[in-house]
Amino acid sequence: MPGSRRSPLLRTRNSVDAAVAPLDAGPVDVLLEQAIAPVMRDLVRSGIAPPRLLDYDWLDDTAVASAMLHTPDGAGTGITVSRLATEAEQVAWVADAVQEAVIDYLMPTGPNNWPPCPLHPRNHPLLAAVHDEAAVWECPKTGSRVAAIGAV
């Protein structure tokens, strides 16, 4: 869709950019691209193969950016972000969706609590949340903020 909301992504050799913009992908909505970038950084830093984000406006709603997320095992899921949400809410919303897809992907092969809670690493993953207008990973048991999303 032409317009200021969509633009072709830059193709670089950076692994985060490659995950967000695979070479065979079309233009992904800029809003979704920006919201998912911190989550992809966390995946790459964790040594997990990040899912690919592919342009596919499956929702066809001008208030929502949508695309398809494909994990390395070939599974795909729709991902959305509201244009009406704050930037922190957008990042936390997308982090939650990516986390669910990654946990499903990891389940058959090993630990499936990404990102692991440093306070309870064998019990549960961190929870994406918004605090003080920032998207953060927090412990779901204690509510302790662990790190900004994008800094794990």
Residue 150 lies in a domain: no
CB count in 10 Å sphere of residue 36? 27
Closest CA to 76 of 89, 58, 63: 58
pLDDT tens for each residue of 102-127: 999 998 887 788 999 999 988 899 99
Closest CA to 46 of 103, 90, 4, 120: 103
- Please tell me what DSSP assigns to residue 5: T
Residue 30 lies in a domain: yes
Closest CA to 147 of 51, 31, 39: 39
Task: Output the pTM of the full model.
Answer: 0.82
Residue 55 lies in a domain: yes
Residue 40 lies in a domain: yes
**Domain span including residue 12:** 6-110
**pLDDT at residue 100 greater than cutoff 60:** yes
Residue 82 lies in a domain: yes
What is the model's pLDDT at position 23? 37
Number of structural domains in the chain: 1
pLDDT tens for each residue of 32-84: 999 999 999 999 999 998 999 998 888 889 999 999 999 999 999 999 999 99
What is the model's pLDDT at position 9? 29
54: which 2 tokens? 């592919």
Residue 117 lies in a domain: no
Residue 12 lies in a domain: yes
